[in-house]
Structure 1
Amino acid sequence: MDKGDDIALNFGEEDELDRRQKFKHPLAVFFHMFFRSAAIVLYFMCDFFIDSFVTSFVMIVIMLSMDFWTVKNVTGRLLVGLRWWNYVDDDGKSNWVYEARKGAHKKKVTVVEARIFWLSLVACEIIWIFLIFSTLLRLRFAWLMIVLVGTAMNGANLYGYIKCKYGANKKLSTVATGFLGKQLWTSMLSMGKSETQNQTQQ
């Protein structure tokens, strides 16, 4: 991987996706889902099985930390060919690097693994954000710290991998606009083709 290069891998690129094999990295997929699911399940079940808030807090944060490390350092690289990281240069400046496999190092990504990776990142972030409002409405302020940690950790990985995917120098607003525009253009083309076929048949 080359440092600082823009991402080349996009959602749905047919030449990047291997549709012949569902799972190339089943163990990575398992742990990608296990730690994040365990953190959410523990959050909901701690009230029933654990009396100590401190114990609940520690267990959930451990699961969140293991999930953050696994997604950042292992599953992102294996499941979608992306990696983001940070280093401090000699001047003490913090630098963020967003990478994707390219050229000779590029390997095909399976459809199922890529979907599991992205859907779980997005779905878990939505769940943690929902839990922020739920915690505030139920006046469970002691649990708010746990929810904020979950939102921040999962959100950091989501943000990092979106930057990897679309390029380190692009703003997320530009990415969203471009994606929606592409989807709209595709829909218009498909509608135009349908109308042309109907007119031909008539």
Structure 2
Amino acid sequence: MADETEDVELNEQERTRGGAVMMRHPVASFFHLFFRVLAIVAYLLCDWISKNFASCFVLIITLLSFDFWSVKNVTGRLLVGLRWWNQIDEDGRSLWVFEAKKFVQTSRGNNTGTEVEERIFWLGLIICPLIWTVFFFTCLFSLKIKWLYLIVASISLQAANLYGFLRCKAVGQDGRPPDSRSFTGRHLLQRPDLIFGIL
């Protein structure tokens, strides 16, 4: 009887390692990368696809807008349990809210992503703005000025999500919201575990 219990436990562990629970939210993981990678590919192939700058601009900004919305509203919540938003209070002031879900382990596990999905989330969130930054310097040195507008808009959308989720991660680790006036690059330098813990 004890052997049967051990076999069941071992089979459960093998199934978890074997891939059945590797990806708890495969669709969310796919769409976390889909729009941002498609925008980069569209940017790289834009000269071959169309000579019309306006159509390329609209296509890429549309893809990055879909990416911004899906990451902020769907994949951040499902894969890492983080969310952020803006709300207007009674006085008309704009308030930014950053939340980190408190993880409670139940018999079924938690409903956020696995470790693999968490890595996909953070790597996609960090690497893509770096790629757009490389594009920025490439355009700057090759004097393709009209493309700089597109690249600056792309960096802005992706950097906003990265900043928001880093703020959320800081809330989750401290257990209290950070002071909005003091959260700058200096705060990140004081807390290198925020970035290095991601990778």
Mark yes or no: TM-score above 0.5.
yes
State how 1:131-146 maps to structure 2 within 5 Å. 131-146=135-150
State how 1:175-194 maps to structure 2 within 5 Å. 175-179=188-192
- For the residues of structure 1 that align with 2:94 and 2:104, how far apart are their CA atoms? 29
Structure 1 unmatched ranges of 5 or more: 1-18, 184-202
Give secondary structure in 1 for the equivalent of 2:178: coil
Structure-2 change in CA distance of 1:156 and 1:109 (3 Å): same
1:110 — aligned with what?
A: 114
- For the residues of structure 2 that align with 1:152 and 1:69, how far apart are their CA atoms? 14
- For the residues of structure 2 that align with 1:121 and 1:143, how far apart are their CA atoms? 22
1:97 — aligned with what?
A: 97
CA displacement at 1:92 relative to structure 2: 0.6
CA displacement at 1:103 relative to structure 2: 5.8
State how 1:42-81 maps to structure 2 within 5 Å. 42-81=42-81
- For the residues of structure 2 that align with 1:95 and 1:47, how far apart are their CA atoms? 41
1:166 — aligned with what?
A: 170
- For the residues of structure 1 that align with 2:57 and 2:83, how far apart are their CA atoms? 29
Structure 1 residues 163-189: Cα deviation after superposition (integer angstroms, max 9, x where no partner): 000124163423333326xx8xxxxxx
- For the residues of structure 2 that align with 1:123 and 1:139, how far apart are their CA atoms? 24
Following superposition, which runs of at least 4 residues in structure 1 exceed 2 angstroms of deviation?
Answer: 103-109, 170-180
Structure 1 residues 129-148: Cα deviation after superposition (integer angstroms, max 9, x where no partner): 11111111010011111100
CA displacement at 1:104 relative to structure 2: 5.4
1:38 matched to 2:11: no
- For the residues of structure 2 that align with 1:108 and 1:116, how far apart are their CA atoms? 13
Give secondary structure in 1 for the equivalent of 2:191: helix
2:7 — aligned with what?
A: none
Structure-2 change in CA distance of 1:148 and 1:86 (3 Å): same
Structure 2 unmatched ranges of 5 or more: 1-15, 172-176
- For the residues of structure 1 that align with 2:111 and 2:56, how far apart are their CA atoms? 40
Structure-2 change in CA distance of 1:83 and 1:141 (3 Å): same
- For the residues of structure 1 that align with 2:127 and 2:103, how far apart are their CA atoms? 31
- For the residues of structure 2 that align with 1:111 and 1:27, how far apart are their CA atoms? 16
After superposition, the CA RMSD in angstroms is 2.1
Whether the 8 Å contact between 1:101 and 1:107 is mirrored in structure 2 is no
Structure possessing the higher relative contact order (Cα contacts under 8 Å, 6 or more residues apart): 1
Q: How many residues align?
A: 164
CA displacement at 1:108 relative to structure 2: 5.0
- For the residues of structure 1 that align with 2:62 and 2:191, how far apart are their CA atoms? 37
Structure-2 change in CA distance of 1:22 and 1:103 (3 Å): closer
Whether the 8 Å contact between 1:31 and 1:70 is mirrored in structure 2 is yes
